[in-house]
Amino acid sequence: MGILSSIFGSKKSINLEDGSWIKYYRECIWKDILSFEKSNGESQTIQVGTDSCYQAGNKVYCICRSLDEESGTVAYYGIILNASSNSEMNIIVDRCEDLNQNVISKDDWTKGRYFSENKFPGIEKAINIIRGNASFNNYSTLPPYVFSLTIGMQNN
């Protein structure tokens, strides 16, 4: 039995509100960390919320976003970095909203998704930026979004 199950009971006993993990981070300071080329040939960036970077043990958590002003959408990503990898950013959850925070697609907890060096050359630099910010945000209590990610991973 996992620690969360022992504290809260059955793993399905905690229901997360859609988008609860991004609630306090939409308006944080965003820093460009990755660029990629969209299918139409235009450049797009992925940004990290510098206030969201958090380290707990050998894991680093953060929230990233990709703002597409042309389509008026923002894709948010809940990310975990593993200590053993400098070439992957594991996507735990993502969602898409318009610029007025109206939901386009709800939280997607599909497992096995990640940003990798294959699709995003230079990802190691992005990971180092995230780890650097996390070293400054090493709190004794979990930020609310990390708790939400933990519960979401357990439920899905």
CA 20 → CA 24, 57, 106, 113, 146, distances in Å? 8, 24, 11, 20, 11
In contact, 131 and 81? CB cutoff 8 Å: yes
Query: Cα separation of 133 and 64, whole Å?
Result: 13
Q: Please choose, from the candidates 46, 125, 114, the residue with its C-alpha nearest in 3D space to the C-alpha of residue 81.
A: 114
Per-residue model confidence as pLDDT tens digits over 59-100: 899 999 999 988 899 999 999 998 888 899 999 999 999 999
The yes-or-no verdict on residue 1 having pLDDT over 90 is: no
Query: How far is 13 from 32, CA to CA, in rounded Å?
Result: 37
Work out the average pLDDT over 51-55: 91
Determine the structural domain holding residue 91 and report its residue range.
Answer: 3-155
Report pLDDT digits (tens) over 136-154: 877 677 787 888 888 888 7
Structure tokens at 17: 């509100």
Give the chain's domain count.
1
Q: CA 142 → CA 51, 61, 97, 113, distances in Å?
A: 13, 10, 25, 24
pLDDT at 15: 59
Q: Quote the CA–CA distance of 95 and 21 in Å, as a whole number.
A: 10
